[in-house]
């Protein structure tokens, strides 16, 4: 069976070169390409590739941001395409994640590809997820939490206290901040808002939901490893199966 593969790079020439190299490999099936991080996230969720060649440096949402947007079990095996410095090379090597340094030759490309295919053949997805998560933690340290957020709208700026937020919901290119009966739209990704909220108080329970732990009244087990999260005001949210590791943070195991 061929390995389903995508290419993500904002430079057309670099993307076309990778596609040409991959299409010459008998073990590879190229199933898609993306020219930016936003497209990449949707492509990965839609097509579920086994392998991705992922450019690190892209505007708005870079390669690390793409992986941070995805749950661990959504991430494919990754070969990073990068122009990073020696520090990054060391990080990639320590965490056993392969990379291609631009400009790279065909021999280096084939070496990286073989390593990735060998790793996939060993069928160790949990190990690959752990390696990628460790790399993300090292190269993308979380931004310091804010104690208030500036929300623009209707020609004015409203300052919202972080402690007042009940829960946060993804809304296309925005996030909705739910505060009591009020809702404020903020132009940010779920990943960026998650980094701005204090981790000891807020927890991401699904791809599209972050909740203030102080607002949680109870948890109710559902089917297939999911939980209903009931807030003190009666709001009912869902802790997804892909975020079950957060149960420990809520005092459960």
How confident is the model over 209-225, as pLDDT tens digits? 999 999 999 999 888 88
pLDDT digits (tens, 9 = 90+) for 21-61: 999 999 999 999 999 988 999 999 999 999 999 988 887 78
Residue 138 has pLDDT above 70, yes or no: no
Return the structure tokens found at 46: 């839609």
| Cα 172 to Cα 184, 190, 207, 244, distances in angstroms | 14, 10, 12, 24
**Per-residue confidence band for 15, with pLDDT thresholds at 50, 70 and 90:** very high
The DSSP bridge pattern shows strands 156-161 and 148-153 to be: antiparallel
The bridge status of strand 3-8 relative to strand 209-212 is unpaired
Mean pLDDT of the chain: 84
Lowest-confidence region among 25-39, 103-117, 130-144: 130-144
Predicted local distance difference test score (pLDDT) of residue 73: 77
Q: Can you give the residue ranges of every domain in the chain?
A: 3-138, 148-247
Domain 148-247 falls in which CATH fold? OB fold (Dihydrolipoamide Acetyltransferase, E2P) (2.40.50)
Half-sphere exposure of 164 (CA within 13 A, CB side): 12
| Residue 39, CB-side half-sphere exposure with 13 Å CA sphere | 14
pLDDT > 80? residue 113: yes
Is 148-247 the same fold as 3-138? no
Give the tokens for residue 8.
Answer: 């993500």
Query: Where on the phi/psi map is residue 127: left (φ > 0), alpha (ψ -120 to 50), or beta?
Result: alpha
Query: Is residue 104 helix, strand or coil?
Result: coil
Name the CATH superfamily, with its identifier, for domain 3-138. Answer: Response regulator (3.40.50.2300)
Q: What's the pLDDT tens digit per position in 68-83? A: 888 777 888 888 888 7
pLDDT, position 141: 53
Query: Quick one: what percent of the chain has pLDDT higher than 90?
Result: 41
Q: Give the model's pLDDT for residue 155.
A: 75
* Confidence tier at 90 by pLDDT (50, 70, 90): low
pTM of the shown model: 0.58
In the predicted model, what is the mean pLDDT of residues 134-154? 70
pLDDT higher than 80, residue 98: no
In this structure, are residues 37 and 56 in contact, taking their beta carbons and an 8 Å threshold? no
Phi, psi of 191 (to 5 degrees): -65, -45
94 has pLDDT over 60 = no
* pLDDT, tens only, 172-210: 778 999 999 999 998 888 877 887 888 889 999 988 999
Q: How far apart are CA 21 and CA 37, in angstroms?
A: 22
DSSP 15-47: HHHHHHHHHT-TTEEEEEEESSHHHHHHHHHHH
Q: Which two tokens stand for residue 123?
A: 């069928």
The number of residues in the chain equals 253
Higher-confidence position of 174 and 139: 174
d(CA 132, CA 175): 26
């Amino acid at each position: 069976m061929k390995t389903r593969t995508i290419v993500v790079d904002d430079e057309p020439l670099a993307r076309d070169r990778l596609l040409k190299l991959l299409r010459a490999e008998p073990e590879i099936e190229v199933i898609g390409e993306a020219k930016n991080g936003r497209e990449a996230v949707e492509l990965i969720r839609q097509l579920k590739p086994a392998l991705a060649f992922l450019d690190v440096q892209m505007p708005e949402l870079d390669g690390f941001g793409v992986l941070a947007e995805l749950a661990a079990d959504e991430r494919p095996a990754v070969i990073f395409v990068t122009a990073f410095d020696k520090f990054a090379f060391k990080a990639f090597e320590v965490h056993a994640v392969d990379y291609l340094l631009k400009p790279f030759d065909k021999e280096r490309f084939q070496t990286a590809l073989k390593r990735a295919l060998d790793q996939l053949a060993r069928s160790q997805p949990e190990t690959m997820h752990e390696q990628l998560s460790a790399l993300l933690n090292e190269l993308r340290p979380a931004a310091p939490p804010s104690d208030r957020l500036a929300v623009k709208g209707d020609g004015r700026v409203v300052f919202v206290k972080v402690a007042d937020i009940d829960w946060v919901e993804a809304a296309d290119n925005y996030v909705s901040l739910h505060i009591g009966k009020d809702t404020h739209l903020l132009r940010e990704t779920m990943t960026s808002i998650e980094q701005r909220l204090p981790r000891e108080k807020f927890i991401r329970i699904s791809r599209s939901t972050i909740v203030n732990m102080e607002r949680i009244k109870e948890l109710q087990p559902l089917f297939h490893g999911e939980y209903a999260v009931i807030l003190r005001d009666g709001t009912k949210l869902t802790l997804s199966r892909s975020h079950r590791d957060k149960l420990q943070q809520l005092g459960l195991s």
